[in-house]
Amino acid sequence: MTHRIADTFYDALAKLSPQEQKQVKQSAFDFQMDPSLPGFSTHRVDRARDPDFWTARVNRDIRMVIHKKDGDTLLAWVGHHDDAYRWAETRRIEAHPKTGVVQIVEARESVEDIVVQRYVEEAVRMPRLFADEHDETLLSWGVPEDWLDTVRDATEDTILDIAHRLPGEAADALLAAATGSRPAPAPIVADDQDPWQHPDTLRRFRVVDNVEELREALDAPWEKWSVFLHPAQREFVDRDFNGPARVIGSAGTGKTVVALHRAARLAKDPDARVLLTTFNRRLARALNEKVPLVANGDTRKRIHVEALGPLVGRLHAERFGDSELVDEETLRTLLADAAQDQGLSADPEFLFDEWSLIVDAWAVPDQETYRDLPRLGRKLRMAASRRDALWAVFAQVRQELISKGLKTETQLAHELREVGEIPFTHALVDEAQDISVAELLLLGSTLGNQLNGLFFAGDIGQRIFRAPFPWSAAKVDVRGRSRSLKVNYRTSHQIRLRSDLLLPETLVEADGSEEARLGVTSVFDGPAPELRAFADRSDEIREVATWVEAIADQGVSSDEIAILVRQDAMIAQLPEGLANHATIMPMHDAKGAEFRAVAIPFLDQDVLPDETRLLAARDEGQLDEVMNTERHLLYVAATRARDFLWMSGTEPLSDFLSDLIQARKAE
């Protein structure tokens, strides 16, 4: 007897009250132990299209919908009595005629008349998106047979509604096709494959092998991602890589989820020591909180979560004893003094960047290497004589640091690399777009050649902290082992479409490789983002406060509403009472977080891009870098929103915001 849970059960459960959820979890558990208990008073659903649907009683009102076939049971749905019956009466569970994958199919004729009427009316008025597609093509995308005509009638206005009633693989394909991509046929069940083991089946049905597994699933908060993965995510979790591998994808496509599951998968090996890391403590804490959702017991113990900087400091201290670190101010003074001693006139900012981004970052050992070094992401070209003069300065600073017994943080990573060991068999790096050169060199040299040694999850469109550099120069080559995820689980279709406009359609990495960001789809729909321009700051503040309060009035709690600002000082401009309704923080701190509603006020011309950063840029390369990271920052902020997004400024507006407003007007 096999027990399964469907993703529809999770979705339905999430809509019940906390008290009801608790009762359902207990009932689901008892049911698994003994489905014949009289308390469930199971009934076959008489009018069901699928004769194998039954209901089981949770309390006077709540019913679980169970699918029973050949001795197997599936928890399919849960909800109030009448809703549960209606759900069961209008669904079938069946193998798709073309792909063989097991699907839950909503009966086409059950879609309410009014909705059907709308599909038809829209089809008359607007171009039909799939009018010319053959049955065979639509079937090859996983569209259920009785939905073929409805899909063919889909227009731009109805496609989302239709897609969300279809099995995931069909929805992915149709939404991708609607946005200009040409989907490949969905993989079919092989002759020797169990249809229940196919990746598209596994994205909606999970087997719970034993009572222990169900207990885990029931004890964990019902986070869908901890149980159901998209096949593209699953592939990255399960596949073995003979070298560094990487998952990329725009915000909200489930990269962190992949890293977590992969860490858990690798940690099942009793000899594994898995490092799950990222680039700051806050993000590491957030990762650590999620680990119990994917791993427990000994597997959990074999996963170590720590931010890279602190990890390097700790491992270095364990190996070499404590070190005194040089602070930035001292370093700047040393650089300025050395430049003066060497008779070199150079911009202090340039000297500092050249030291941090090149000499120290890459542990450049001597003058010859420095002279011959490719510029590694630095746009400025330099004559050999100029490099020699600069080297004299850097060499003096190195000497000074040694004589004062000071080290840079970067140096700690290099010294660890030289001893060539870290106490892990695997490392997985989340938010890898912001990894430093020295950290990448360290991980690359210690784990880069091991089977499944290194795995990265990141998005170059969200690089906001560190300067870009070519990973190949750090001998970390992910070519052929890097793929992108295309389904956005976090942000509504409307918010994603707007946010995507903030970035170019193709992003270029420091080594010249390109990432096309087209073809991403969202799994749900929501209101259009509010994009507002004000003539007066007080009006802007009043309106943003009204918007936040209206969302709070809908019952959204203050930790689910964020107000994100570019500079800390702006927080004081907001009315004090707003903090009761929303979490207020700088945009940078929102990295990795998500909220139901996000407001981003104060998007003025001198705020984003940040004027001080712009003025400090010394050349075109730096100007580009400031523009890119500021643009990424707004993208990060906007894509924290799941359902509601507000962006506003007081004129003159940030170019980023006015471009979005113009684009909307042009639609």
Q: How far is the CB of 641 from ligand ATP (least distance, A)?
A: 11
Question: Up-side HSE of residue 439: CA atoms within 13 Å toward CB?
Answer: 24
Nearest in space to 2 (alpha carbons), one of 88, 56, 59, 69: 69
Contact 536, 546 (CB under 8 A): no
Q: How far apart are CA 513 and CA 470, in angstroms?
A: 10
- Coil, strand or helix at 224: helix
- Tell me: is residue 404 an annotated ligand-binding position: no
Q: Is 253 among the residues that bind ligand ATP (CB under 6 A)? A: yes
Phi (first) and psi of residue 8, to 5 degrees: -65, -30
| Closest CB to ligand ATP among residues 230, 417 | 230
Contact pattern for ligand ATP over residues 294 through 333, marking x by CB under 6 A? ----------------------------------------
Among 9, 141, 225, 471, binds ligand ATP (CB under 6 A): 225
Q: Is 229 among the residues that bind ligand ATP (CB under 6 A)? A: yes
- Tell me: is residue 255 an annotated ligand-binding position: yes
Q: Which of the stretches 170-178, 246-254, 524-532, 551-559 binds ligand ATP when contact is defined by CB under 6 A? A: 246-254
Q: Which of the stretches 56-64, 180-188, 219-227, 375-383 binds ligand ATP when contact is defined by CB under 6 A? A: 219-227
Q: How far is the CB of 81 from ligand ATP (least distance, A)?
A: 28
Q: How far apart are CA 349 and CA 331, in angstroms?
A: 12
- Coil, strand or helix at 56: strand
Q: Is 167 among the residues that bind ligand ATP (CB under 6 A)? A: no
- With residue 65 as reference, give the H or E element that holds it: strand 62-69
Q: Which of the stretches 19-27, 118-126, 227-235, 569-577 binds ligand ATP when contact is defined by CB under 6 A? A: 227-235
Distances (CA, A) of 119 to 21, 113, 146: 35, 10, 15
Among 455, 489, 602, 656, binds ligand ATP (CB under 6 A): 489
Q: How far apart are CA 435 and CA 419, in angstroms?
A: 21
- State the virtual CA torsion across 82, 86, 87, 91 in degrees, nearest 10: 160
Q: Is 252 among the residues that bind ligand ATP (CB under 6 A)? A: yes
| Closest CB to ligand ATP among residues 165, 224 | 224
Q: How far apart are CA 217 and CA 5, in angstroms?
A: 10
Q: Which of the stretches 176-184, 221-229, 345-353, 541-549 binds ligand ATP when contact is defined by CB under 6 A? A: 221-229
Among 254, 309, 453, 649, binds ligand ATP (CB under 6 A): 254
| Closest CB to ligand ATP among residues 262, 417 | 262
Q: How far is the CB of 461 from ligand ATP (least distance, A)?
A: 9
- Tell me: is residue 256 an annotated ligand-binding position: yes
Could you tell me the two tokens for 201? 């089946």
Q: How far is the CB of 255 from ligand ATP (least distance, A)?
A: 4
Number of residues binding to ligand ATP, judged by CB under 6 A: 22
Nearest in space to 563 (alpha carbons), one of 647, 666, 661, 656: 647
- Tell me: is residue 249 an annotated ligand-binding position: yes
| Closest CB to ligand ATP among residues 4, 152 | 4
Could you tell me the two tokens for 252? 């909200």
HEC profile for 234-284?
HHHHHCCCCCCEEEECCCCCCHHHHHHHHHHHHHCCCCCCEEEECCCHHHH
Contact pattern for ligand ATP over residues 608 through 647, marking x by CB under 6 A? -------------------------------x--------
Phi (first) and psi of residue 205, to 5 degrees: -130, 130
Q: Which of the stretches 207-215, 244-252, 263-271, 297-305 binds ligand ATP when contact is defined by CB under 6 A? A: 244-252
Q: How far apart are CA 454 and CA 511, in angstroms?
A: 19
Q: How far apart are CA 597 and CA 557, in angstroms?
A: 10
Q: Is 486 among the residues that bind ligand ATP (CB under 6 A)? A: no
Q: Is 233 among the residues that bind ligand ATP (CB under 6 A)? A: yes
Contact 395, 420 (CB under 8 A): no
Among 168, 249, 529, 649, binds ligand ATP (CB under 6 A): 249
Distances (CA, A) of 229 to 191, 201, 416, 433, 641: 23, 10, 36, 23, 21
| Closest CB to ligand ATP among residues 105, 460 | 460
| Closest CB to ligand ATP among residues 85, 225 | 225
Q: How far is the CB of 2 from ligand ATP (least distance, A)?
A: 22
- Tell me: is residue 252 an annotated ligand-binding position: yes
Contact 22, 222 (CB under 8 A): no
Q: Which of the stretches 182-190, 253-261, 350-358, 565-573 binds ligand ATP when contact is defined by CB under 6 A? A: 253-261
Q: Is 170 among the residues that bind ligand ATP (CB under 6 A)? A: no
Site for ligand ATP in 454-483 (CB under 6 A): 459, 462
Residues engaged in binding ligand ATP (CB under 6 A): 223-225, 228-230, 233, 249, 251-257, 459, 462, 489-490, 592, 594, 639
Binding site listing for ATP? 249-256
